[in-house]
Structure 1
Amino acid sequence: MLKTFDSRYNLPGRKYFSTAIPKLYQTVRDQVMEEVSEATYFAGTTDLWSSRTMGPYMSYTAHFIDRDWNLAPKHLQTVFFPDDHTGENLAAGLKDTLDSWGLQEEKQICLTTDNGSNIVKASELNEWQRLQCFGHRLHLAVNCGLKDDRIDRAVRVCKRVVSVFSYSWKKKRNLEKFQTELDLPQHSLITACDTRWGSTQKMIEGFWSRKRP
């Protein structure tokens, strides 16, 4: 394909990529490490994630103000974390993260996390100041405000309808057809995520805007 596109282009081989990518990674890592090392103090944010194949990962981001007084967040890593997500293991994993980037614990003024009991315990074990995540607290507050039987039933009905369209290519095809006939933009229905209140809002908005088709 590339030869047809431009016969002058010489596609690098496997050997090139196997050496170039690690070099590029190391160059960027050294640059980021140098920037972070200049911070007088920094704050951290961390969270646990699951990939689409349900692989467990832990991320860490450092936030600091640089010499020009600009806020400089640096996402340092998202690492595979196959160990049990106990407070003890998370505490050790977070310490290893700081060590691997040459960061001193005493310069970390606080660590922002959700309210998971394991990460709360990890912060206590490391004797780190912990700050509750505003987004997570807002999510809990919104969900608490939505605890109404009428709202709950409406959301469940909406989820079921969206689910039917998600698993049926025929219904997707027909939805596209009717959107075209009604001169509406082609939009798919949005699935709500239980841990993201905003996704429920978007699901309902999308459902309502596609009511006719």
Structure 2
Amino acid sequence: MIIPTKRSNTTNLFQHLKQRHKKLHDQCMSTKSIETNKCTHQSQPEQTEQVSIVQAFASAVPYEKGSKRHKEITDAITYHICKDMMPTHIVSKDGFRRLIQTLDKRYQLPSRTHFTRFAIPEMYEKCKAGVEHELKQVKYFATTTDMWSSRTMEPYMSLTVHYVNDNFEMKSRCLQTAFFPEDHTGENISEGLKEALASWGLCEEQQVSITTDNGTNIVKAVPLNNWTRLQCFGHRLHLAIGLSKGEGQLKVLYPKHLNTTYMIKWNIQRANSTYGKTQNRLSNTS
């Protein structure tokens, strides 16, 4: 390695090495050449390619709606809405729109209507097709179901399927949470469950059992379909804890009272809706 010093030179030294020590001279010259090339390379400024006019304007032009990049971002936003159960009006929020513009200025966020009418239904159909493909490989399965109401007192019936795949992995798929406006009688629930299985191409004979709570209507519905019913362990455990604390009377009476109140409200709401439709139909005919 060559070490520079002030007020001195290495000319005489190199001449001596050249004449007396040829091998050392060659090594020194080789090292000196490498050091010189390294310093020269570091001192040269990096050359950057000049952006063409076409490229400069292209960076400011929005993506075409049918382009691959536009579809990728739209699909990612749709997945975010579905996976995280976000309201669709999030795409209209100023903060969310600013976030998207910061991430990619060329992307123009579609309207809320686009997501509700096209993007989300399209993703649902793709997801449903994938689940249906999985279920075709299943030989036997079990299901769980429950009846519940939304915050706006609208009734729904959920259905989840459980099975073990070829790799002996336990899988669960929530098939549907369907609007169920009919009276929650055993006959209506049994028919609704049969229709739900049929809509997913599931054969009743392959169903090992169905797990439910202890509601009178669902207890009546399952035998009507000649299915094997299992009681929900979590529900029974909850009741057992309540009984052990001396809250049995409250735990039993309160749900019945709540259910009666709910059914009255829902029947009134349904009657008003039916009355309104009939009134509109009569007005149009007159």
Could you tell me how far apart the structure 2 residues matched to 1:123 and 1:92 are? 10
For residues 84-163 of structure 1, the aligned pairs below 5 Å read 84-147=183-246
Secondary structure at 1:98 match in 2: helix
Indicate the residue corresponding to 1:82 in structure 2. Answer: 181
- Verify: 1:43 aligned to 2:43, yes or no: no
- Verify: 1:8 aligned to 2:106, yes or no: yes
For residues 192-203 of structure 1, the aligned pairs below 5 Å read none
Secondary structure at 1:112 match in 2: strand
Q: CA offsets, 1:3-55, max 9 Å, x none? A: 58434331124564322222111000000111122111000000001101111
- Aligned residue among 154, 172, 178 for 1:73: 172
Residue identity in the other structure for 2:191:
A
Could you tell me how far apart the structure 2 residues matched to 1:65 and 1:22 are? 28
Indicate the residue corresponding to 2:124 in structure 1. Answer: 25
Contact 1:42/1:109 (8 A) holds in 2? yes
Deviation at 1:114, TM superposition (A): 0.6
Could you tell me how far apart the structure 1 residues matched to 2:155 and 2:111 are? 32
Residue identity in the other structure for 1:45:
T
Could you tell me how far apart the structure 2 residues matched to 1:138 and 1:19 are? 43
TM-score, length basis structure 2: 0.50
Q: How many residues align?
A: 152
Contact 1:46/1:111 (8 A) holds in 2? yes
For residues 186-197 of structure 1, the aligned pairs below 5 Å read none
Indicate the residue corresponding to 2:283 in structure 1. Answer: none
Output the aligned Cα RMSD: 2.1
Q: Give unpaired runs (5+ residues) of structure 2.
A: 1-93, 256-286
Secondary structure at 2:208 match in 1: strand
Contact 1:3/1:9 (8 A) holds in 2? no
- Structure number with the higher strand fraction is 1
Q: CA offsets, 1:103-151, max 9 Å, x none? A: 0000000000011111011111001000000001101111110117xxx
Residue identity in the other structure for 1:11:
L
Deviation at 1:67, TM superposition (A): 1.3
Larger radius of gyration: 2
Could you tell me how far apart the structure 1 residues matched to 2:130 and 2:172 are? 14
Contact 1:47/1:58 (8 A) holds in 2? yes
Q: CA offsets, 1:56-113, max 9 Å, x none? A: 0000000000111100011100001010000000000000000000000000000000
TM-score, length basis structure 1: 0.66
Could you tell me how far apart the structure 2 residues matched to 1:94 and 1:102 are? 13
Could you tell me how far apart the structure 1 residues matched to 2:177 and 2:113 are? 26
Could you tell me how far apart the structure 1 residues matched to 2:182 and 2:113 are? 34
Indicate the residue corresponding to 2:280 in structure 1. Answer: none
Q: Is the deviation greater in 78-87 or in 19-28? A: 19-28
